[in-house]
Structure 1
Amino acid sequence: MSEYESPSSIHLSNLIKKTKEKGYDGLLLTEPNNIKYLSNYDTKSFAFAILSDNPVVYATELDLENAKLNSQIEVRKFESLSALNDDLVKEGLTNFAIESTLPISLYEKFSDKFSGKLNLTIDHLIEDERMVKSYDEIVKIQEATKIAQKAFTDLDVLSKYDSGASEWEVSYELGRLMRDYGAESESFDTIVTSGSNSSLPHAEPEHKELETPILIDWGAKYKGYCSDNTRTIVFSEKQQEIFDIVLEAHDKTIESIKEGMKACEVDKIARDIIAEYGYGDKYIHSTGHSLGLDIHENPNVSTRTETVLEKNMFITVEPGIYLEGNFGVRVEDTVLIDKKAHVIGDLPRIII
């Protein structure tokens, strides 16, 4: 595949075109994964990119060699904002779209330094571009999922429970196995929680023996791209009852997903099923989110998200019921959007 045909180059061309169509001189980016997305340069210090007819990445001296070795677009050394101002004036660039994640402190620095000469407008150009994945990105997310699911299977959580292992031990070993199998890191801090703490959706692993039920939310990062799964292992009759409701919401939602649906419609399917069983007020988070270079990307799958699902978008489907002070259940898979939803990976929903 030539440089021009690479995923970064395709996204770059798309964004430059859309930036021009909206009347901007360029797109100013500072978020590291946005820079990596378009240049293949994984910044380890402060950097920013300006996308125009002649896209440029500005890197500090600390990271300049790394940038020159990996970036698919021109690299310049960042000297100062004054020097940057000279470059922009020389090229006649003053009207910029900026990412919505640009820190306020940096926005103020740009605004103050250029004394009103630079017009910065928040636009979701890059966030929207990142929603639809290229073939290369799809393959990386599939591989990240494969790694994470193999690690979970080989870990054998039930044997850990029988041997009296702690939540922290299970979390640590799952992370180690993912790295052994090719992950560069975990997608996020692995959640291993059990007993009454499982009613906390973002509980942290504790140095205590596993209790029941056991909820594990984990993912691997492979070549920059994330995976995300959750499994809950239940033991008692009441836990099984709640699990069955959550699993029904999970499965029927995935069966209903198709290209052209709104994200809020997906959320409503899962939410309505859980509400029918009387647990609507115990479903306390959105139904899912997209992922890619970041574990949480647009679109969010929530009651308010009007984004229309397109082919080659990824979303997670993760309904849950949380009985405060008692226990919680969540089941999560990542799906690829097409005429219908394709579940990534083959990990059983029921762990026995």
Structure 2
Amino acid sequence: MDMHIENIQNDLKNDDIQAYLLTQFTNVEYISNYKPTSFAFCVIKENPIIYASSMDMEIAKNNSIIEVREYESFETMNEELKKEGIKRLAIEPSLPYGTYEKLRDDFEIASKTYVDKQRMIKTPREIENIAKATEIAQKSFMQLDILNNKNTEKEIAFDLVRFMIENGAEKESFDTIVTSGANSSLPHAIPQGKKLGQPILIDWGAKYNGYCSDNTRTMVYDEFQHEIWDIVAEAHDKAIKAIKPGFKCSEIDMISRDVISEYGYGDNFIHSTGHSLGLDIHETPGFSPRDDTVIEEGMVITVEPGIYLEGKFGVRLEDTVSISKKANVIGDLPLNIV
């Protein structure tokens, strides 16, 4: 039996819950090695089972380490689970309300994040996949020759995705951000059909074997932009140096935030310092003021402080670190791209 399944079965026992229903695609993939293409109900219990759609039966049977049964109806699934004596059923917090309605009459429902807890600590193989995704993404970024690029933001974003795929990525790990000029003050700016202004901010990642990478670089030009860049770089470097097992995630966020606040830009750092990644681009825990998770070896988390000056420009610098006795930056792309 898979170690993660055993851990979840122990969590269920401790909470006096008989089964745990998963529908989120990456959670099902993480537990079973089968990635649904339409829908699937993965039930972790004494004898775990996946109810897959008829469309997915072939792929599920080929890849799943868990028994697979074809889904017929909610009534059938609920009856089978009730026959096994399942009364208390855990669900993911992300389960759609419409699905919850179809379960609540038959079971006592509890919302649990058992899989998220397992996914927080990466295996060496998972870290290898993230490192390979990062290598592909960084190599592709260097191919852009961004400083001599005469294309529009949209075209550059398209080129970057194409390079990543040519270099071995499955796809981009999120919508590539290429933004410049005043729009760079929007943390999730959408590439426009205009030539590059100054500064240039690019936030991108590749997916390899299902695992994501995530980096941001900002290229600055005038003295004021350089000044802001230096502050963000200091916040980025100090946070990374401080990361060690035993610290709370919120303490790392504070180190990064304090640097930016000392220079008078605290109100312009408008998001958390970082987030875990893996099969999803945003996982838990994160370096945020509200996250008191204790850092452990095997976590993989981004560090991405930023300063955003509304109507003027923004600077963000992001690397992903894997944590052992300290934080190890994944990849070898310099912060300063000149």
- Separation in 1, partners of 2:128, 2:17: 33
Measured against aligned partners, the alpha-carbon deviations of 1:142-184 in whole angstroms (never above 9, x if no partner) come to 1111110111112221121xxx211011100000000011110
Is residue 134 from structure 1 mapped to residue 134 from structure 2 by the alignment? no
The equivalent position to 1:79 in structure 2, one of 72, 79, 85, is: 72
The answer as to 2:224 corresponding to 1:238 is yes
Structure 1 consecutive aligned stretches of length 4 or more whose deviation exceeds 2 Å: none
CA deviation string 1:251-309 (max 9, x = no partner)? 01101110111110010001000000010111111101000110000112111111111
> Is residue 275 of structure 2 the alignment partner of residue 289 of structure 1?
yes
Measure the CA separation in 2 of the matches of 1:303 and 1:275: 14
Correspondence list, 1:88-237, <5 A: 88-111=81-104, 115=105, 117-160=106-149, 164-237=150-223
Q: Deviations over 1:40-64 (max 9, x none)?
A: 1110011111001100011011111
Displacement of 1:213 in angstroms is: 0.3
Separation (CA, whole Å) in 1 of partners of 2:274 and 2:79:
45
State the AA in 2 paired with 1:120: I
| Aligned 8 A contact 2:273 2:304 in 1 | yes
Deviations 1:106-157, CA, capped at 9 Å, x for gaps: 111222xxx2x31110112111111111111111111111110111112221
**Which secondary structure state, in structure 2, belongs to the residue aligned with residue 89 of structure 1?**
helix
- Secondary structure of 1:42's counterpart equals coil
Superposition pairs of residues 231-270 of structure 1, within 5 angstroms: 231-270=217-256
- Partner Cα separation in structure 1 for residue 273 and residue 182 of structure 2: 22
**CA distance, structure 2, for counterparts of residue 286 and residue 89 of structure 1:** 43
After TM superposition, give the deviation of residue 94 of structure 1 in Å: 1.9
CA distance in 1, matches of 2:78, 2:266: 54
CA drift at 1:26: 1.3
Alignment partners' CA distance in 1, 2:287 and 2:239: 12
CA displacement at 1:90 relative to structure 2: 2.0
Deviation at 1:185, TM superposition (A): 0.7
Structure 1 contact 20–26 (Cα < 8 Å) conserved? no
Please, which of 21, 37, 55 is the counterpart of residue 30 of structure 2? Answer: 37
Structure 1 residue 21, shift from structure 2 partner: 2.2
What are the ranges of 5 or more consecutive residues in structure 2 without an aligned counterpart? none
Which residue of structure 1 lines up, in the alignment, with residue 285 of structure 2? 299
Q: What residue number does 1:58 align with?
A: 51
Paired residue for 2:15? 22
Q: Which amino acid aligns with 2:3?
A: I
Task: Give the alignment's TM-score, normalised by structure 2.
Answer: 0.98
Distance 1:134 1:55 in 2: 22
Displacement after TM superposition at 1:13 (Å): 1.9
Kindly, what percent of the aligned residue pairs are identical? 56
Separation in 1 of the partners of 2:220 and 2:99? 48
User: Helix, strand or coil: the match of 2:168?
Assistant: coil
Q: Pick from 35, 46, 53: which aligns with 2:39?
A: 46
Partner Cα distance (2:157, 2:259) in 1: 31
Matched, 1:342 2:335: no
Query: Secondary structure of the equivalent of 1:172?
Result: helix
Give me the TM-score of the superposition, normalised by structure 1: 0.94
The residue type paired with residue 135 of structure 1 is P
Q: What residue identity is the alignment partner of 1:77?
A: E
Q: 2:78 touches 2:103 (CA, 8 Å); kept in 1?
A: no
Structure 1 stretches of 5 or more lacking a match? none
**How far does residue 105 in structure 1 lie from its aligned partner after superposition?**
1.8
Length, aligned pairs only:
338
Q: Distance in 2 between matches of 1:240 and 1:149?
A: 23
1:173-229 Cα distance to aligned partner (Å, 9 max, x none): 000000011110100000000000000100000010001000000000011110000
What letter is aligned with 1:309?
A: I
Distance (Å, rounded) in 2 between the aligned partners of 1:297 and 1:141: 13
